[in-house]
A and B are shown apart, each in its own frame.
Chain A
Amino acid sequence: MTPQGDTGRRPDGAAFAIAAFLIAIGALMLWDGSRIPSKAGYSGVGAGDVPRLIGGALVLLGIATGIEGWRRPGPARPKQQPVPLLWLLGGMVVMVATIHTIGFVLGATILFTCAAAAFGERRFVRAILSGIGLGMFIYLVFDVLLQLNLPAGPIEMLIFGR
């Protein structure tokens, strides 16, 4: 995930990874498309045919990407910092895993705090408090006033009674 500043001279490793990914997706579509019984009807084009077409195109695009990466390596990419990425993705994953138990307000607080930390915020108490405030405000506006059905947990039960 963190190519350390490609110099652009040697063949582009990332391009090969992308090419492999595209070919894999394309192959998957070709396989899934051929699995579908062909009941093409009048048109001669059944449910599996367009996915097979797109799968074939992806395989070709993957090959082209590989060739391009061999012949013309991409430009140097800026160095990526792994720590903020981990903060952000970690926050998202924890929020996704827990939100149905802890409810929207706490889930939003976790996400807000982790995202703030990813961008260099280190005053965690303030971040957590603002996260709670933002979560409550959004829950009030969207769930209570605008009828959007947000996941409820202990805090929502206690304060908004639902």
Chain B
Amino acid sequence: MDTFSFLLQGLATAFEPMMLLYALIGVTLGTAVGVLPGIGPALTVALLLPVTYGLDAAGSLIMFAGIYYGGMYGGSTTSILLNTPGESASVITALEGNKMARAGRGGPALATAAIGSFVAGLLATLMLAFLAPHVVKLALIFGPREYFALMVLAFVTVSAAFGESALRGLVSLFIGLALAMVGIDQLTGQTRLAFGVPQLLDGIEVTTLAVAMFALGEALFVAAQGPDNDSGILAIKGRVRMTAQDWARSWKAWLRGTAIGFPIGSMPAGGADIASFLSYATERNMTKHPEEFGKGAIEGVAGPEAANNAAAAGTLVPLLTLGLPTTATAAIMLAGFQQFGLQPGPLLFATAPQLVWGLIASLLVANVMLLVLNLPLIRFWILLLKIPQPWLYGGILVFATLGTLGVNPSPVELMMLVLFGTMGYLMRLFNYPIAPVVVGLILGPMAEQQLRRALSISQGDWTTLVQSPVAAVLLLLALAALVVPMILRARGRGDALSQIGTAED
């Protein structure tokens, strides 16, 4: 069967009434949580993961896909109406979007963000559907050494290539890798770093770590800055619609943003931040209204928002076809798959095609639902921005503990929550990125297994790692991604890199 008929079959799954309901619940929850200030997509999916525990695999993943896209939409609303720097994935949107809102053009800004996200999400999801089978074919020729090289590349791009300092990124990554070693070795059954604590034998849960570092760490950090210096929510004046001129200036930016975002998201080259940053730079160079940039140019909202969402869909390409998470959000999604014993990768397309294609099709459905939720109903979501800060964080923390309490409420696990939360706070305080820890934790054991398998095949000969051309090229790329930014920083050209540094997504 070809992609098209698979996709039709997937749509049939996605249009079952229960699945539509799950998708609707997913996008609604995702938008609601994503809109809350200070909560990015990674935390949104981590917080809402427990919601899906009670469902079957298909329903749960469909709801989860809705949460993922909903979180991406919700984030843009926050950054337009509240200037919340630090919310990484849509920090670029805030540059122009917040200025537009200040100038009384919040309505068009929200509209171009929502429609741009829709256009990009739709196109990128279709691209995902048509690209995925080809990547799966490619993945089938991948052996352990190619997978290992790919993971090394992902490690480097997540930790060292972008952001302020390669050293700090690597420290974060290796902390994640160290945590990943806790528990029982999957190849020999040896206990490692558990120190006789039985609860540590299962290793450290990705969701516990992510929720602790993102939710508790962020809450501690915000609280420690003292009383709130609230910038205030900007009211939307006028209607949430665009003029003919807004449309004319937006549509090309949407398409360009999609064209930039999807490839970047689908390569192990970091997440949505880089895509939206590049899109912003492109729009600033190509605009006919350069004087408006920095004061609220609509292209500066349309492009990055489209790029952001296209990259979010692109991230699913390596995640679904190779089982390779390239962002913190994708790492948590992978944990979502693993709770059902599903390992994304080429095999999943063969063993559970209905599930995979149902998931892809439901992304299309979720996208349409989100357009409806975000254009006519936008005023309702804005009410959520008015929750007072103490209540907001109180609620976030209760929700953050929910997943751990519901799944594994042992005192050890709960103390880990507190411990990692404190660590997340300290890392934030000293400018260490969080995403590499999460990615290191989930990818670490996988990389180790592939490495040891590759070496088993070659009977301990390390040169095997570079003897396949694919693996050699991937490792060279990883080396370049490590060294080139270091040189750029040393020569004082690191500003651009630190601007696109991944704080969260």
A interface, CB within 8 angstroms of B? 1-2, 14, 18, 22, 25, 28-29, 32-33, 36-37, 39-48, 50-51, 54-55, 57-58, 61, 64-65, 68, 74-75, 77-82, 84-85, 87-89, 91-93, 95-97, 99-100, 104, 108, 111-113, 115-121, 127, 130-131, 134-135, 138, 142-143, 146-151
Q: Is the CB of B390 within 8 A of A117?
A: yes
A120-B227 contact given A25-B178, A99-B409, A113-B394, CB 8 Å threshold: yes
A115-B394 contact given A39-B188, A42-B456, A48-B190, CB 8 Å threshold: yes
| B80 smallest CB distance to A (angstroms) | 24
| B449 smallest CB distance to A (angstroms) | 10
Return the chain B residue nearest A15 by Cβ: B430
Q: Is the CB of A57 within 8 A of B174?
A: yes
Q: Which residues of A contact B425 (CB under 8 A)?
A: 85
Known: A99-B414, A130-B394. 14 other contacts (CB 8 A): A25-B175, A40-B460, A43-B459, A48-B192, A51-B181, A61-B171, A92-B397, A97-B411, A99-B409, A115-B394, A115-B398, A118-B390, A120-B228, A121-B394
Q: Is the CB of B456 within 8 A of A84?
A: no
Interface residues of B in 125-178 (CB under 8 A from A): 167, 170-171, 174-175, 177-178
Interface stretch (choices B218-226, B289-297, B307-315)? B218-226
Q: Is the CB of A148 within 8 A of B50?
A: yes
Q: Which residues of A contact B390 (CB under 8 A)?
A: 115-121, 127
Q: Is the CB of A92 within 8 A of B181?
A: no
Report the Cα distance A45→B219, complex, angstroms.
41
- Interface 1/0s, chain B 369-403, versus A by CB < 8 A? 00000000000000000001111011111110110
| A148 smallest CB distance to B (angstroms) | 4
Interface residues of B in 32-53 (CB under 8 A from A): 50-51, 53
Q: Is the CB of A85 within 8 A of B220?
A: yes
| Interface check B352, CB cutoff 8 A | no
| Interface check B187, CB cutoff 8 A | yes
| Interface check B198, CB cutoff 8 A | no
Q: Is the CB of B402 within 8 A of A111?
A: no
Q: Which residues of B contact A75 (CB under 8 A)?
A: 431
Q: Is the CB of A112 within 8 A of B398?
A: yes
Q: Is the CB of A121 within 8 A of B391?
A: yes
| A57 smallest CB distance to B (angstroms) | 5
- Interface 1/0s, chain B 207-237, versus A by CB < 8 A? 0000000001001101111111000000000
Q: Which residues of B contact A50 (CB under 8 A)?
A: 181, 448, 451-452
| Interface check B455, CB cutoff 8 A | yes
Q: Is the CB of A92 within 8 A of B421?
A: yes
A138-B402 contact given A113-B394, A130-B391, CB 8 Å threshold: yes
| B152 smallest CB distance to A (angstroms) | 13
Return the contact of A151 from the options B170, B389, B405 (Cβ within 8 A).
Answer: B405
Q: Is the CB of A43 within 8 A of B178?
A: no
Report the Cα distance A120→B117, complex, angstroms.
36
Q: Which residues of A contact B453 (CB under 8 A)?
A: 43
Q: Could you give 30 example pairs across A and B, Cβ below 8 Å?
A: A2-B224, A36-B190, A37-B190, A43-B453, A43-B455, A44-B459, A47-B188, A54-B177, A54-B181, A57-B174, A58-B174, A64-B167, A89-B418, A92-B397, A95-B401, A96-B414, A99-B414, A112-B397, A115-B396, A118-B219, A118-B223, A118-B390, A119-B222, A119-B394, A120-B228, A121-B394, A134-B398, A135-B398, A142-B51, A146-B53
| B326 smallest CB distance to A (angstroms) | 21
| B442 smallest CB distance to A (angstroms) | 15
Q: Is the CB of A142 within 8 A of B170?
A: no
Q: Which residues of B contact A84 (CB under 8 A)?
A: 223-224, 226
Which of A54, A95, A142 has most chain B Cβ within 10 Å?
A54
Which of A18, A42, A89, A119 has most chain B Cβ within 10 Å?
A119
Return the contact of A88 from the options B223, B225, B405, B431 (Cβ within 8 A).
Answer: B223
Return the contact of B187 from the options A47, A82, A151 (Cβ within 8 A).
Answer: A47
| Interface check B429, CB cutoff 8 A | yes
Return the chain A residue nearest B445 by Cβ: A50
Q: Is the CB of B418 within 8 A of A93?
A: yes
Q: Is the CB of B455 within 8 A of A36?
A: no
Q: Which residues of A contact B396 (CB under 8 A)?
A: 115
Return the chain B residue nearest A92 by Cβ: B418
Q: Is the CB of A36 within 8 A of B192?
A: yes
Top 8 closest A-B pairs, CB basis?
A44-B460, A121-B390, A43-B455, A148-B406, A84-B223, A119-B390, A116-B390, A47-B190
Report the Cα distance A65→B219, complex, angstroms.
27
Q: Which residues of B contact A108 (CB under 8 A)?
A: 398, 401
| Interface check B476, CB cutoff 8 A | no
Which of B54, B171, B219, B396 has most chain A Cβ within 10 Å?
B171
Q: Is the CB of B398 within 8 A of A42?
A: no
Return the contact of A43 from the options B401, B407, B415, B452 (Cβ within 8 A).
Answer: B452
A42-B223 contact given A127-B390, A138-B402, A147-B54, CB 8 Å threshold: no
| B156 smallest CB distance to A (angstroms) | 13
Q: Is the CB of B171 within 8 A of A116?
A: no
Q: Is the CB of A111 within 8 A of B394?
A: yes
Q: Is the CB of B190 within 8 A of A151?
A: no
